[in-house]
């Protein structure tokens, strides 16, 4: 498939261009070729600027259409900000009381060592402690 780019150019312009390009006068021929080269360079520059502006506009409109960035649970803090403004517990652990350091669990078929950690107690007992 070939495209005739000169189809939309008026005949008078083509005749003038042909006359200048084939002119025996060096100044006319050089001026025509220089103008052609500069015109092509300016046209390419304008085309690249237009393409860049279009690409930037498309990227900005795409980012706007996407909306705000999603928030994921693992990016959220592990504490509840509302609880920070509430009344403070008397102890730092609240209703969690430390277990005695490791204990032996002998309820199963063999003894198991349970590491020391914290366990939840009823609030009444935690307030009394």
pLDDT tens-place string over residues 89-107: 666 666 666 666 777 888 8
- Give the per-residue pLDDT at 57: 93
- pTM (predicted TM-score): 0.38
Section 51-71 average pLDDT: 88
Residue 127: the pLDDT is 61
Give 14's pLDDT tier (boundaries 50, 70, 90).
confident
Q: How far is CA 9 from CA 14, 16, 70, 88, in A?
A: 7, 12, 53, 83
**What mean pLDDT is reported for the chain?**
78
């Amino acid at each position: 498939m070939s495209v005739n780019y000169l189809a939309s150019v008026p005949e008078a312009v083509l005749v003038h261009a042909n006359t200048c390009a084939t002119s025996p006068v060096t100044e006319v021929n050089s001026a025509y070729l220089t103008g052609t080269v500069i015109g092509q360079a300016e046209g390419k520059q304008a085309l690249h600027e237009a393409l860049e502006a279009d690409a930037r506009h498309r990227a900005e409109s795409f980012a706007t259409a996407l909306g705000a960035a999603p928030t994921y649970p693992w990016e959220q803090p592990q504490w509840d900000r509302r609880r920070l403004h509430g009344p403070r517990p008397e102890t730092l652990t609240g209703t969690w009381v430390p277990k005695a350091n490791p204990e032996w669990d002998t309820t199963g078929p063999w003894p198991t060592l349970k590491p020391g950690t914290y366990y939840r107690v009823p609030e009444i007992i935690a307030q009394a402690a």
